[in-house]
Amino acid sequence: MLIAALGLPLLGGVLVSMQSQSPNTRDICSLVTAVLLFLLVLGFYPSVLAGNNPTLVLAEPIAGLGLKLTVEPLGLLFATVASGLWILTTIYGVGYMRGNSESNQTRFFFCFAISIAAAIGIAFAGNLLTLFVFYEMLTLATYPLVTHKGNADARRGGRTYLGILLVTSIGFFLFATLWTYAITGTLDFREGGILSGHVGPGTAMILLTMFAFGTGKAALMPFHRWLPAAMVAPTPVSALLHAVAVVKAGVFTILKISVYIFGVDFIAETGAGTIVMWAAAFTLTAASFVALTKDNLKARLAYSTVGQLSYVIVGAMLANAAGIIGATMQIAMHAMGKITLFFCAGAIYVATHKTEISQLDGLGHKMPFTFAAFFIGSLSIIGLPPMGGAWSKWFLLMGSADAGQWVLIGLLLLSSLLNIAYLLPIVGRGFFRPLPADDAAHASANTIQEAPLNCVVPLCVTATGCVALFAFGGAIYDYLLLLFPKT
């Protein structure tokens, strides 16, 4: 079953790559694979809820240290998010790519499938080595996606993307992994962590810091540059990067390391997370300020992502139940919210070829669904009820309060205010400003309408999802309590 979860997207990828002659078959192939994968992932829930952790060792390249897959609650949640959103991204991607008649569509969907396989691998990784392997696989598989356009800009962006991700992961992450291995003799993810009792607070702090910064995908400042740089990619890719696979893989990695390598109690005892926590706190504030200054829609969303990711890191570093739960929820909630926003940005681009916020005046009336969805997504990101984002923000605040970090609470609230400041005006422009005069004069305004159905449906679905997640908040909370068997 685990093999199938990993192999399905790979198989799908291969099938897709063989269908380059007939786009329809190819796209159906992608879609079917996505749906099957989602169902497969859902199939794990009964056994995990029953307290089992299915495990599988794929190979053993290093004696006593294999490529191991294990299903546990945290990973399963991430897998659910990734595979679920893959379906929507695929539908959307088909619409977008065809709408823009992009070239190399087969390569695009092939890499897409590989990326999802890597994301699933990260989700189910049974030890740090496996996680690292899939982490790098994800980096390499997304690289062709980022440089999809193949022009000079795309190449420059791709180089930054690859450079930062590889350098941080090899330079810090791998190093910390090896160090951990040398200290403990194992890299398995275990409840309560493996480092506890092996290292002192100083080393623990160094290690955790290295892990956090080494996970370049989590975009902690100063290693966030790749995210805006990767904005050159087509929008479905941005959606994938920002909402589904890449960045979520990053923060998920940090979360998983905190929980299963260090152990929540261990971090709390030693205070190992201090540096990372404040770096994250700085990032989430600073990124929001930077976002305010950006006029390019995607760039603004990118910086918003940088900030939102740090919420997760902060939650992980708080090292208490509320913090961890908040962080995990943030992964799901932000994924849903941000993918909505990117879908909207893409839809706007497909429909009008506009990329700057200042050009969006009055479009809300022409594209009501898109802008409504954008509004809902924004609310979710900001963390206002009745959207899913409210839950995660709430738990994070609770966690901060539990940890007694009052300054942090202040920063979180400040950041939320900034979120409002940079997200809502976009909606405001769309609905409350008139169309620019020259556009109207050209009568081109009349030709502006909603994007293709393939684009609009997914964004409506995700917007609905944002609302739905608010309703399911309690269920997710109960599920996540599995992480804390004692309490």
Exactly one of 11, 28, 35, 178 binds other proteins (CB under 8 A); that residue is 178
Quickly count: other Cβ atoms within 10 Å of residue 287's Cβ: 26
Q: Does 59 bind other proteins (CB under 8 A)?
A: yes
| Percent of the chain as helix, strand, coil, to the nearest 5 | 75, 5, 20
**Contacts of other proteins in 138-157 (CB under 8 A):** 140, 155
128 vs 240, which CB is nearer to other proteins? 128
Q: Does 233 bind other proteins (CB under 8 A)?
A: no
Q: How many residues does the chain have?
A: 487
7 vs 61, which CB is nearer to other proteins? 61
Q: Does 421 bind other proteins (CB under 8 A)?
A: no
Transcribe 164-216 into DSSP letters. Answer: HHHHHIIIIIIHHHHHHHHHHS--B--TT-SSTTTS-HHHHHHHHHHHHHH-G
Exactly one of 175, 278, 282, 369 binds other proteins (CB under 8 A); that residue is 175
* Residue with tokens 């609470």, as numbered in its chain: 409
42 vs 166, which CB is nearer to other proteins? 166
Q: Contact region for other proteins (CB under 8 A) — 94-102, 161-169, 215-223, 458-466?
A: 161-169
55-62 vs 65-70, strand pairing mode: antiparallel
Sign of the four-CA dihedral 22, 28, 33, 34: positive
129 vs 427, which CB is nearer to other proteins? 129
Which residues, including other chains, have CB under 8 Å from residue 410's CB and lie 6 or more apart?
A: none
Q: Does 401 bind other proteins (CB under 8 A)?
A: no
The least distance separating other proteins from the CB of residue 63, rounded to whole angstroms, comes to 6
Exactly one of 4, 49, 62, 475 binds other proteins (CB under 8 A); that residue is 62
Q: Contact region for other proteins (CB under 8 A) — 53-61, 189-197, 224-232, 359-367?
A: 53-61
The least distance separating other proteins from the CB of residue 85, rounded to whole angstroms, comes to 26
Q: Does 275 bind other proteins (CB under 8 A)?
A: no
Choose among 244, 252, 180, 243: nearest CA to 210: 180
Q: Is 52 left (phi over 0), alpha (psi -120 to 50) or beta?
A: beta
Which residues, including other chains, have CB under 8 Å from residue 334's CB and lie 6 or more apart?
A: 243, 305, 308, 309, 311, 312, 381, 389, 392
Q: Contact region for other proteins (CB under 8 A) — 71-79, 165-173, 365-373, 410-418?
A: 165-173
Q: Does 295 bind other proteins (CB under 8 A)?
A: no
Exactly one of 98, 107, 149, 159 binds other proteins (CB under 8 A); that residue is 159
**Calpha distance 219→307 (Å, rounded):** 9
Q: Does 205 bind other proteins (CB under 8 A)?
A: no
144 vs 473, which CB is nearer to other proteins? 144
Exactly one of 86, 108, 161, 181 binds other proteins (CB under 8 A); that residue is 181
Exactly one of 94, 97, 129, 418 binds other proteins (CB under 8 A); that residue is 129
Exactly one of 61, 368, 386, 410 binds other proteins (CB under 8 A); that residue is 61
Q: Does 161 bind other proteins (CB under 8 A)?
A: no
Exactly one of 5, 34, 133, 376 binds other proteins (CB under 8 A); that residue is 133
**CB 176 within 8 Å of CB 149:** no
**Calpha distance 303→332 (Å, rounded):** 18
Residue type at position 459: L
Choose among 315, 201, 308, 199: nearest CA to 254: 315
Q: Does 198 bind other proteins (CB under 8 A)?
A: no
Q: Contact region for other proteins (CB under 8 A) — 62-70, 238-246, 318-326, 445-453?
A: 62-70
Transcribe 399-415 into DSSP letters. Answer: HHHHHT-HHHHHHHHHH
Q: Does 107 bind other proteins (CB under 8 A)?
A: no
**Calpha distance 392→411 (Å, rounded):** 16
Transcribe 133-147 into DSSP letters. Answer: HHHHHHHHHHHHHHT
Q: How many CA atoms lie within 13 A of 454 on its CB side?
A: 18
**CB 228 within 8 Å of CB 299:** yes
Q: Does 14 bind other proteins (CB under 8 A)?
A: no
**CB 212 within 8 Å of CB 313:** yes
**CB 457 within 8 Å of CB 91:** yes
Tokens of 269: 């005892």
Quickly count: other Cβ atoms within 10 Å of residue 353's Cβ: 9
Q: Contact region for other proteins (CB under 8 A) — 7-15, 60-68, 293-301, 371-379?
A: 60-68
Q: Does 265 bind other proteins (CB under 8 A)?
A: no
Q: Contact region for other proteins (CB under 8 A) — 55-63, 245-253, 330-338, 449-457?
A: 55-63
Q: Does 474 bind other proteins (CB under 8 A)?
A: no
Q: Does 448 bind other proteins (CB under 8 A)?
A: no
**Contacts of other proteins in 64-103 (CB under 8 A):** 67
Interface ranges with other proteins (CB under 8 A): 59-63, 67, 129, 132-133, 136-137, 140, 155, 159, 162, 166-167, 170-171, 174-175, 178-179, 181-183
